[in-house]
Structure 1
Amino acid sequence: MQRRLFLSAAAAPPLGLALSGCASPGVDAYAQDKPVLDLAQYFNGRVLAHGMFQNRSGRIARRFSVVMDCAWQGSQGVLDEAFTYSDGTTQRRVWRLTKHADGRYTGTADDVVGEARGQARGNAFRWAYTLALPVDGRVYHVDLDDWMVLIDERVMLNRATMSKWGVHLGDITLSFSKP
């Protein structure tokens, strides 16, 4: 079933091509917005998240919760994510992040192809990466355009757009909270 959802989304005509002239603002547009997001400060200790994946037609295809144990030493951070999906399956992803000058970050994880690269400005963080996504015994490389926006010191919202070969496959929405 997952494979059919994924493959039907990949084979559908690229609606995004009709909207290609409508570019989203860059992260610099949020440079003055408060509260200022410092990933090393926010992702430190335990963080909880709840989210969903919506396919390109808007149907909620998967729901999940995440328990994150996060720690930083200097400019190096580890975000250990334990996912539990609504169907009872589990997954673990361990991000290794590096904080660079000017709000730039890089990151790696076992299921990330190459290196994730991002930029924080004001209350927003945007990064891009390629994820090796297993679907029905096969692995597909999908691109994510991932935005996080700090609401207050406890809550951050996240929206990621998933695509393959420029074709929009769906969206991931998360709400992070610090206990």
Structure 2
Amino acid sequence: MKIEDFAVTTPVFKLEEFFHGKLKGWGTTLSRFGAFENRFTIDAEGIYDPKAHTLALKEVYRFDDGHTDTLIWTIIKRSDADYEGRESLIEGLAQGSQAGSAFNWKYTRAVPAKDGSKTSFGFTDWFWLIEPTVMAAHASLTKLGIEVARLSAFYQKI
């Protein structure tokens, strides 16, 4: 799948518009072989500064085993279709591209576990705007180039 495949799809997904404001999300994680691992909820809030082309986004993931993971993003819109992001547990920068109803995001992040340990995973995220207030997300998590888990989630603007 390539971002260009979505160039003519609608509604058009603009990351900075969708994530501006409050959102709620729900999702699941499946293992490499398709076994259910967990479910989670997401509370998110973003503020887009159009003058600086910057989205400040906070996401709080609450997993069914009781642990949480908080991501505090600074996302810069570099062009109509290109974005880069920073977050404290990301190695380097997250790189993203948008076309039509889709957004693709790639990065490596140290993910905290319930016991406080962290494991570094490569992420390839896909977001698809379903309607103006609903988005579907899919993430492939890799370790040493091998997919180890898949995450699926839905976000709704509230």
Please, what TM-score do these two structures have when normalized by structure 1?
Answer: 0.83
Matched, 1:101 2:114: no
Q: Take 2:69 and 2:12, find their aligned partners in 1: how far apart are those partners?
A: 31
Q: Take 1:86 and 1:146, find their aligned partners in 2: how far apart are those partners?
A: 22
The correspondence for 1:121, drawn from 99, 102, 112, is 99
Cα offset, 1:140, TM superposition: 2.3
Please, what TM-score do these two structures have when normalized by structure 2?
Answer: 0.93
Which structure shows the higher helix fraction?
1
Matched, 1:63 2:75: no
Give the percent of matched residue pairs that are identical in Structure 1 and Structure 2: 28
Aligned to 2:131, what secondary structure does the other structure show?
Answer: coil
Which structure shows the higher strand fraction?
2
Q: Take 1:115 and 1:61, find their aligned partners in 2: how far apart are those partners?
A: 28
Residue 145 of structure 2 is matched in structure 1 by: 166
Cα offset, 1:112, TM superposition: 1.2
Q: Take 2:78 and 2:136, find their aligned partners in 1: how far apart are those partners?
A: 23
Q: How big is each residue's C-alpha offset from its partner over 1:111-132, in whole Å with a ceiling of 9 and x where there is no partner?
A: 1111000100000000100011
Q: Take 2:61 and 2:117, find their aligned partners in 1: how far apart are those partners?
A: 20
For structure 1, which runs of at least 5 residues remain unmatched after alignment?
1-24
Q: Take 2:67 and 2:119, find their aligned partners in 1: how far apart are those partners?
A: 19
Q: Take 2:104 and 2:69, find their aligned partners in 1: how far apart are those partners?
A: 23
Cα offset, 1:138, TM superposition: 3.9
1:48 aligned partner, one-letter code: K
Aligned to 2:42, what secondary structure does the other structure show?
Answer: strand
- Matched pairs, number: 155
The correspondence for 1:38, drawn from 14, 19, 36, is 14
The correspondence for 1:143, drawn from 110, 122, 144, is 122
Residue 131 of structure 2 is matched in structure 1 by: 152
Q: How big is each residue's C-alpha offset from its partner over 1:51-91, in whole Å with a ceiling of 9 and x where there is no partner?
A: 11111111111111011011011211111112211122222
The correspondence for 1:73, drawn from 42, 49, 72, is 49
Larger radius of gyration: 1
1:32 aligned partner, one-letter code: V
Q: Take 1:86 and 1:142, find their aligned partners in 2: how far apart are those partners?
A: 20
Aligned to 1:111, what secondary structure does the other structure show?
Answer: coil
